[in-house]
Amino acid sequence: MLASSAVFRRQQFLIRSLGGFGDCTHQNRRQQIKAMSGTSMEADAENILRAITPSLDPKRHKGQAGKIAVIGGCREYTGAPYFAAISALKIGADLSHVFCTKDAAPVIKSYSPELIVHPVLEESYSVRDEEKKFTAERVLAEVDKWLERFDCLVIGPGLGRDPFLLECVSEIIKHARQTNIPMVIDGDGLFLITDNLHLVSNYPLAVLTPNVNEYKRLVKNVLLAEVDEQDAPNQLLSLAKRIGGLTILRKGRADLICDGETVKSVSIYGSPRRCGGQGDILSGSVAVFVSWARQQGLVIDGNLATSPKNPTVLGCIAGSALLRKAASLAFENKKRSTLTTDIIEFLWRSLEDISPAH
């Protein structure tokens, strides 16, 4: 009996040392995540969601609730841009566009008639070397025709890493900056900007949403260091300051959000099911909330006096909280079989619970 007790204690110590959860109940997970994130950093996520979600007004016309565009989608990856674009619509954006390659367009169109799909991007295999300059100019001109209509861009879901395609997207980012369009950069977009930080440096309307591995690359490239989990908030603050003038949403057990001035945490319990595509929902969600926060100029009431005023930070907090709530509801219903499409179907209910549409 004593021997087994000692073994149990050693097992519990090992689990704690490795950052695991000794008791796998949802309540204990929530408590441990909250303790890890630190209550002083915890964002007032539900009140922020209520504050920046616009009321439904019959006097408003199509487009006033948000026009989002996703730059992404290639032969191999068609699901990611769809997840980001459809999530924006499910939350309440009026229009959602996808700019993708010609091969990806018919597939993405088949997923939903609600999306406006533009098959304008090109990959190296379809362009001869002598045509690349002309083709790049044509791609940029096609996107430019639409840019000023959008309230926010999502750059990267399903983009792939084709060199010519990434060159074209680099030019799109430069033009988006010139027209002051907010942009959420995720997935292969982060692969692009990690080695080309000048594209987003000192642009206050840019949001980066790195996962664990993407964050490691950023820290290594920018701070020339390894990720320090013991001092995560301060390291994130240093990273945001070093890049300059943008917002970073570091995804993890608790999402950390920083604009170089403040660090906020969202540790609402989500789901233990880690199906691919949840980051795409997040990028689409953040894009909508950033555009809403910016559009309204966000009047902060007394309950939000201590909240950040930066619309990109507010949008990240709202997007993170809503995804986590939707993932929790989906997992309650589907358990191990939960898929990204299940989570998307609960976005409306999660938002309705917090900010009713009446």
**242 appears as a binding residue in the annotation:** no
Phi first, then psi, for residue 168 (nearest 5°) are -65, -40
**273 appears as a binding residue in the annotation:** yes
Distance CA 247, CA 263 (A): 10
Contact 254, 36 (CB under 8 A): yes
**10 appears as a binding residue in the annotation:** no
**251 appears as a binding residue in the annotation:** yes
**214 appears as a binding residue in the annotation:** yes
**158 appears as a binding residue in the annotation:** yes
If you ran DSSP here, which 8-state letter would residue 54 be given? P
**82 appears as a binding residue in the annotation:** no
Residue 136, CA distances (Å) to 147, 157, 167, 171 in order:
16, 20, 8, 9
**253 appears as a binding residue in the annotation:** yes
**275 appears as a binding residue in the annotation:** yes
* Of 255, 217, 263, 216, the residue nearest 237 (C-alpha): 263
**296 appears as a binding residue in the annotation:** no
Rounded to a whole number of angstroms, the distance between the first and last alpha carbons of the chain is 61
If you ran DSSP here, which 8-state letter would residue 215 be given? H
**272 appears as a binding residue in the annotation:** yes
Distance CA 133, CA 1 (A): 76
The sheet carrying 255-258 orders its strands as 116-121, 95-101, 67-71, 152-155, 183-185, 206-208, 247-250, 255-258, 263-266
**77 appears as a binding residue in the annotation:** no
**3 appears as a binding residue in the annotation:** no
**334 appears as a binding residue in the annotation:** no
Tell me how many degrees the CA angle 181-184-187 measures, rounded to the nearest 5: 145
Beta strand pairing call for 263-266 and 255-258: antiparallel
**9 appears as a binding residue in the annotation:** no
Phi first, then psi, for residue 248 (nearest 5°) are -120, 130
**27 appears as a binding residue in the annotation:** no
* Of 284, 235, 236, 344, the residue nearest 85 (C-alpha): 284
**213 appears as a binding residue in the annotation:** yes
Distance CA 216, CA 116 (A): 35
**35 appears as a binding residue in the annotation:** no
The tokens of 165 are what?
């395609």
* Of 351, 277, 262, the residue nearest 307 (C-alpha): 262
Annotated binding site: 158, 211-217, 251-255, 270-280
Annotated binding site for ATP: 251-255, 270-279
Annotated binding site for (6S)-NADPHX: 158, 211-217, 280
